[in-house]
Amino acid sequence: MRGPIPGEVDVASLKEVAVGSTAEVAVVSGCDPMTERLLEMGITPGVRVKVVGRAPLGDPLELEVRGYRLSIRRNDAARVMVCAERAGALIGDAVVPR
Amino acid sequence: MDATGGARDAGPFGGRALTVALLGNPNTGKSSLFTALAGIPTRVANYPGVTVEEKVGRFVHRGRSIELIDLPGTYSLSPKSPDEAVAVDVLRGRVEGVPVPECVVLVVDATNIERNLYLASQALELGLPTVIALSLSDVAQERGIEINVDELARRLGCAVVPVVAPRRQGITGLADAILAATASRPPAGLLGELGAVDQSHTAPAREAIGRYAWIEGVLEGVVRRRVVVRSIDDRIDRIVTHRLWGTLLFAATMLAVFSSIFWLATPAMEAISSGIDQVSEWTRAILPEGAIRSLLVDGILAGAGSVVVFVPQIALLFLWIALLEGCGYLSRAAFLMDRLLVGVGLSGKSFIPLLSSFACAIPGIMAARTIENRRDRLLTILLAPLMSCSARLPVYLLLSGAFVPNVAVAGIGWLRLPAVVLVCLYALGVVVAAAVAFVLTRTVFRGPPQPFVMELPGWRWPRGAVVLERVREATWSFVANAGTLILAVSVVIWALSSYPHDEGAIDAEVARERETLSARLRPGALPVIDAEDATILGEHLAALDTPEGLEAARRGAAQRQSFLGRAGRLIEPVVRPLGWDWRIGCAAIASFPAREVVLGTLGVIYNLGDADPGEEEGATALVRRLRSATWDDSGRKVFTLPVALSIMVFFALCAQCASTLVVIGRETGSWVWPAVSFTSMTVLAWLGALLTYQIGTALLP
């Protein structure tokens, strides 16, 4: 696993991103099929991911990436390291509230 | 493989059939495209060695016979599950009996083109002639996604045909493109075009970054408005996944799904049953009494009835599934319930199949088709029969009503003990299923974790044609595949419960019974019987003098002397520790065709003839008969509270349902799983009944 990216601030995992916020993916750590699948699904370094919601029981998460919605479990989201962006950013035509 | 096998035999118009593979991401309308191109599949089987369905269809286009192979939906060509591995193996010609495809039809969801092109970027490297079918292009248009198809085709180096499969739009064009593609050179690979990527990333990350960069390049200027998540999707999602509203909506939907298969299907099922009864009656009237009539009525007609009777439930459940899938709620339901099932090693997708199994395991097991992951699907199929289905309810109701004292629990007036027992029996199935899942995922099903990601498609109206096709497919595959086998099993069970048939032996047994009853009623006979029992035994004896009573007694004797009855006696040492006499063992074995017949069988064995225990009169008669039943070797009562509980626990856990086992066999494509299911559930049921009886006897003097 790689450490924080030099020059970036606020590196966290996708799991910690607040609902409604958007973040830019820095690294998807690990080398197993789950990491590969996340990458294949379009969660690649550099892409912006919005955490749309969380299931009422706390897990899994609902994400928006590359114009579609995807659900992954929080455990798996932990391997997606992101540089948090300011909330209120625009993704496509879906405006993040607040 | 069946007669239509041999993929490259001559088509109806002569010449070799062209093998075409249908590849695409899951949930991209691949199935409807298959139907639009090839109609009803000519062959549905499993790929050798794996429980992955191989669906093959055939059609003729411009005089050319084309064989279409539907590959399992996959997100990429570096497979993460056995299903995905099959898709790759077929494309590379590594599956025995399946020829290397001569053309690949790649289904690309126009509403999610960016992610879908990831698979395209890999498929175009296969070196096979490729045609891209741009599915859901009407939905894309509605959402304002404009795709310059010609430019896209030019950039990808292969034909791109927009299609709307349920309306058959673009289907002829697609078929033309298939023929044209096989006649020309396959597209050149793209690997060379994948640009340089920052070497600090891992290899898989570099590949993904490279491919997505290529996709972005391809789509640049070709697609206007690539983003498909609309504000309406956002608003609906916010309600549907809301902590309170989402949960309420979910509960309401599940209630509707469940009640429609539990209650709404009942009138249709009753109509079917009475229709079959009517036909049986006519047959009885036409044919003379004898083996042929018995085979026709009690074997074949009863068997056919037990197949058709499941159709309303299957059709209704698949109607719901198709509607929920069509609008996008099915994956949201899985999203909401995922957390609940992760603990036992499953995912949210198992929720609806397991819930449906409380009505009947058969539609539940079939609903497991919506689970893409093979391991999860198999596990769900194995757990489904542990949910207490509606066929167990009459057994629970009759026995708990008759033998569980109707007292208040914990001093709460309305909380009656029989009701508590009933709830406990339902809970028992769930708890045991959770324990079984917990153990299996750590033993037999242990293995590399298969990644779980779930797409949440945009909301849309379900399509009538797609919904109807789904219902037709499920119903038909049940009737055609499982139905014939269930019928065969019914006939075998009929034979086992009808033969050997020796009139002399039957008369002798009825005479013996008359004697035993008279002996017990004789004044001063031991053991002493109370007044109530004396009445019942007296009635029983008097009944032997009426024609109906005698007929019922003869039927009971015939059943007890049949192979099945003998098997019941043979297993008595096994069921004795459960507190059962051989009659109960016999009824348990005889209930194998379907659990609900256990009460009917008990009725026959206890000489009640065809009195229907489902109706109040029949049930009362059966309860009275059961209450007075005693052990053959002593005057002790057979049915005590611990015995009734042990029977109920046994039925809660056992796999005494031939139809369920047949469907498990059909859905898993292997007879290993029904065997495993039957053996393990029978052992569980026996252990459960043993514990219940032994603890019950120890606690209740």
> Which superfamily does CATH assign the domain made up of B18-224 to?
P-loop containing nucleotide triphosphate hydrolases (3.40.50.300)
Q: Which residues of B touch A66 (CB under 8 A)?
A: 114-115, 212
CB–CB contact B234 A33 (8 Å): no
* C-alpha distance from residue B320 to each of A60, B256, B461, B462 (Å): 24, 9, 13, 11
Residues, chain B, total? 701
Taking only the tens place, the pLDDT of each residue in B327-360 is 889 889 999 999 988 888 888 889 999 988 988 8
Taking only the tens place, the pLDDT of each residue in B158-197 is 999 999 988 889 999 999 999 998 887 766 666 555 656 6
**Phi, psi (rounded to 5 degrees) for B28:** -115, 10
Least confident of B83-87, B401-405, B496-500: B496-500
Least confident of A35-39, B103-107, B529-533: B529-533
Tell me, yes or no, whether A93 lies in a domain.
Answer: no
pLDDT at residue B54, rounded to an integer: 78
Q: Which residues of A touch B (CB under 8 A)?
A: 2, 27-28, 31-42, 44-47, 52-60, 62, 64, 66-73, 76, 91-95
For residue B235, the chain A residue with the least C-alpha distance is A94
Answer yes or no: is pLDDT of A7 > 50: no
Least confident of A82-96, B397-411, B450-464: A82-96
Tell me, yes or no, whether A50 lies in a domain.
Answer: yes
Q: Which residues of A touch B455 (CB under 8 A)?
A: 68-71
pLDDT range class, residue A44, cuts 50, 70, 90: very high
Q: Mutate which of B239, B452, B455, B460 to test chain A, going by most A C-beta atoms within 10 A?
A: B452
End-to-end Cα spacing for chain A: 34
Tell me, yes or no, whether A2 lies in a domain.
Answer: no
Could you give the CA distance from residue B649 to residue B658 in angstroms, rounded to a whole number?
19
Answer yes or no: is pLDDT of B11 > 60: no
pLDDT range class, residue B237, cuts 50, 70, 90: confident
Q: What angle do CA B36, B39, B41 make, to 5 degrees?
A: 130
Answer yes or no: is pLDDT of B256 > 80: yes
CB–CB contact B112 A35 (8 Å): no
pLDDT at residue A2, rounded to an integer: 44
Domain count, chain A: 1
Tell me, yes or no, whether A62 lies in a domain.
Answer: yes
A2, A34, A67 member nearest B112 (Cβ) = A67
**Paired residues of B69 in beta bridges:** B21, B56
What angle do helix axes B231-240 and B329-342 make, rounded to 10 degrees?
Answer: 40
Tell me, yes or no, whether A98 lies in a domain.
Answer: no
Taking only the tens place, the pLDDT of each residue in A80-95 is 999 865 443 433 333 3
Least confident of A34-43, B252-261, B301-310, B459-468: B301-310
Mean pLDDT within B213-231: 79
Residue listed under structure tokens 């609309």:
B230
Taking only the tens place, the pLDDT of each residue in B550-609 is 777 777 788 778 888 888 888 888 998 999 988 888 888 877 766 666 777 777 777 666
Could you give the CA distance from residue B649 to residue B687 in angstroms, rounded to a whole number?
9
* 207-246 of B, contacting A, C-beta below 8 A: 207-209, 212, 226-231, 233-234, 237-238, 241-243, 246
**Paired residues of B302 in beta bridges:** none
Q: Report the DSSP pairing between strands B64-70 and B18-24.
A: parallel
CB–CB contact A70 B336 (8 Å): no
Q: Which residues contact B15 (CB under 8 A, 6 or more apart)?
A: B64, B65
CB–CB contact B241 A62 (8 Å): yes
* 58-77 of B, contacting A, C-beta below 8 A: 75-76
CB–CB contact B238 A53 (8 Å): yes
For residue A36, the chain B residue with the least C-alpha distance is B204
Taking only the tens place, the pLDDT of each residue in B645-681 is 999 999 999 988 888 999 999 888 888 999 999 999 9
* 452-471 of B, contacting A, C-beta below 8 A: 452-458
Tokens, residue B564 = 């099945």
pLDDT range class, residue B615, cuts 50, 70, 90: low
A34, A57, A67 member nearest B339 (Cβ) = A57
Q: Report the DSSP pairing between strands B103-109 and B18-24.
A: parallel
8 Å CB contact between B494 and B298: yes
A69: domain range?
A: 11-87
Answer yes or no: is pLDDT of A5 > 60: no
pLDDT range class, residue B526, cuts 50, 70, 90: low
Residue listed under structure tokens 């629970």:
B396
A33: domain CATH number is 2.30.30.90
In chain B, ranges of CATH 3.40.50.300 domains: 18-224
Tell me, yes or no, whether A66 lies in a domain.
Answer: yes
Q: Which residues of B touch A8 (CB under 8 A)?
A: none
Q: Mutate which of A34, A52, A66 to test chain B, going by most B C-beta atoms within 10 A?
A: A66
Could you give the CA distance from residue B522 to residue B534 in angstroms, rounded to a whole number?
10
pLDDT range class, residue A62, cuts 50, 70, 90: very high
* C-alpha distance from residue B410 to each of B144, B400, B417, B695 (Å): 64, 18, 9, 21
More confident residue, B451 or B437: B437
Residue listed under structure tokens 């497979």:
B79
DSSP state of B230: -
8 Å CB contact between B335 and B456: yes
Whole-number average pLDDT of chain B: 84
pLDDT range class, residue B633, cuts 50, 70, 90: low
Answer yes or no: is pLDDT of B428 > 90: yes
Q: Which residues of A touch B238 (CB under 8 A)?
A: 53
